[in-house]
């Protein structure tokens, strides 16, 4: 056995490593080498969020310890609620399962009326998000609906995914805030909803401009859709001059309702780990995400796919979720009433009576 200063140094290093493992035993165990990690994507195949996730994954998995294989399992049922609930209640909590959700399932626990959400958003461990959403409602270029004013006097049929999705909740809220007659029809997934518009089955769809740019860039370049409005005050060049909903609002109550509703859109396409995952695993996923979204190769790839990446850290996403839960109850209830399915049914009955 060799002795001397180098031997002493190795003894000290070994002692320090052992002490660190004793104090924080999970630290040395976060390694996914040879494992398969499943991403439960609470959205349909071919939509904007799905496309963005599949662009990210090849780079993201290289930044996770052990470089595991990541597979995607799409679970779009109920506007994404099915996938989020599966991650929360069923998926393994050992780091081999994480999730991606659109805005609808984030809004559902506080804004929804279905009672389907059996999860607490605050108990997820948020990894980070890819974008900030400018929600637009657009109609096909052959539609007789020409403007936001037309949408106040004529019913506009809009393809939507689940009743808890943004594609359904955005038009319902705008009906309440701006007096429009938007009628979301749920039951599609991300890809088929766009086909329904192209085939003329639906007048249009509400979605994010980033998602539209990623999935149907030709709709923009060939001027195949007409934008009725954008929910936020956006400086996006593709929707320059489109009416903003904020400009239509006349009181603070309406403005507070819109602000609350848009909070999840500020952290669009967030990734999360289920409750019970170790703090070391959370740290590893967040570190991998941060490294990926600042990787020039990934950003170049995203740019080639027409994806607008506006990343937010896991801590930022977590803070936004908490801010939602801290919103005054009267504001929350206002939005819940406006976006409920019961309101849609009541309005339909009212309009049917007016026609008699």
CATH assignment at residue 71: 3.40.190.150
H or E stretch covering 136: strand 135-140
Q: Are residues 230 and 140 in the same domain?
A: yes
Q: Are residues 254 and 273 in the same domain?
A: no
Measured CA distances, 295 to 55, 68, 142, 184, 311 (Å): 13, 19, 41, 38, 12
pLDDT at 79 over 60: yes
Question: Global pTM?
Answer: 0.73
Strands 36-41 and 156-159: unpaired
Q: Are residues 176 and 229 in the same domain?
A: yes
Residue located via tokens 């040395």: 28
The answer to whether position 14 is within a domain reads no
What confidence tens digit (pLDDT) does each residue in 130-181 have? 988 788 999 999 999 999 999 999 999 999 987 878 899 999 999 999 999 9
Angstrom distance (rounded) from CA 347 to CA 356: 15
Q: Are residues 251 and 288 in the same domain?
A: no
For 256-289, give one letter per residue: b (16+ CB within 10 A) or e.
bbbebbbbbbbbbbbbbbbeebbebbbebbbebb
Q: Provide the terminal-to-terminal Cα distance of the chain, rounded to the nearest Å.
A: 100
Domain span at 168: 135-263
Q: Are residues 324 and 236 in the same domain?
A: no
The answer to whether position 352 is within a domain reads no
Q: Are residues 233 and 119 in the same domain?
A: no
The answer to whether position 291 is within a domain reads yes
User: Mean pLDDT over residues 69-73, rounded?
Assistant: 97
pLDDT value at residue 206? 95
The answer to whether position 169 is within a domain reads yes
Q: Are residues 208 and 151 in the same domain?
A: yes
Report whether 128 contacts 158 (CB < 8 A). no
């Amino acid at each position: 056995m060799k002795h001397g200063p180098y031997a002493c140094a190795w003894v000290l290093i070994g002692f320090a490593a052992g002490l660190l493992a004793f104090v924080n035993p999970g630290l040395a165990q976060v390694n996914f080498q040879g494992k398969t990690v499943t991403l439960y994507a609470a959205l349909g195949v071919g939509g904007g969020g799905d496309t963005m996730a599949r662009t990210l994954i090849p780079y993201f998995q290289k930044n996770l310890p052990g470089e595991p294989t990541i597979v995607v399992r799409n679970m779009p049922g109920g506007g994404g609620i099915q996938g989020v609930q599966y991650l929360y209640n069923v998926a393994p909590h050992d780091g081999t399962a994480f999730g991606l959700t659109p805005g609808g399932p984030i809004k559902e626990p506080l804004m929804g009326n279905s009672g389907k959400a059996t999860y607490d958003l605050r108990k997820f461990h948020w990894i980070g998000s890819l974008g900030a959403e400018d929600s637009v409602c657009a109609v096909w270029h052959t539609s007789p609906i020409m403007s936001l004013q037309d949408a106040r006097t004529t019913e506009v049929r809009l393809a939507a995914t689940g009743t808890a999705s943004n594609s359904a909740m955005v038009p319902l809220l705008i009906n309440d805030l701006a007096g429009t007659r938007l009628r979301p029809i749920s039951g599609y997934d991300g890809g088929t909803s766009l086909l329904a518009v192209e085939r003329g089955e639906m007048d249009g769809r509400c979605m994010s401009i980033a998602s539209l740019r990623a999935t149907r860039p030709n709709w923009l370049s060939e001027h195949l859709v007409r934008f009725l409005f954008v929910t936020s005050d956006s400086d996006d060049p593709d929707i320059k001059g489109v009416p903003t909903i904020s400009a239509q609002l006349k009181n603070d109550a309406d403005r507070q309702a819109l602000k609350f509703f848009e909070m999840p859109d500020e952290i669009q396409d967030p990734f999360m780990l289920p409750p019970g995952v170790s703090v070391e695993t959370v740290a590893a996923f967040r570190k991998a995400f941060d490294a990926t979204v600042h990787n020039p190769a990934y950003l170049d790839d995203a740019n080639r796919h027409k994806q607008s990446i506006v990343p937010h850290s896991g801590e930022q996403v977590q803070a936004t979720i908490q801010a939602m839960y801290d919103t005054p109850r009267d504001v929350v209830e206002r939005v819940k009433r406006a976006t409920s399915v019961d309101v849609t049914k009541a309005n339909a009955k009212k309009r049917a009576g007016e026609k008699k």
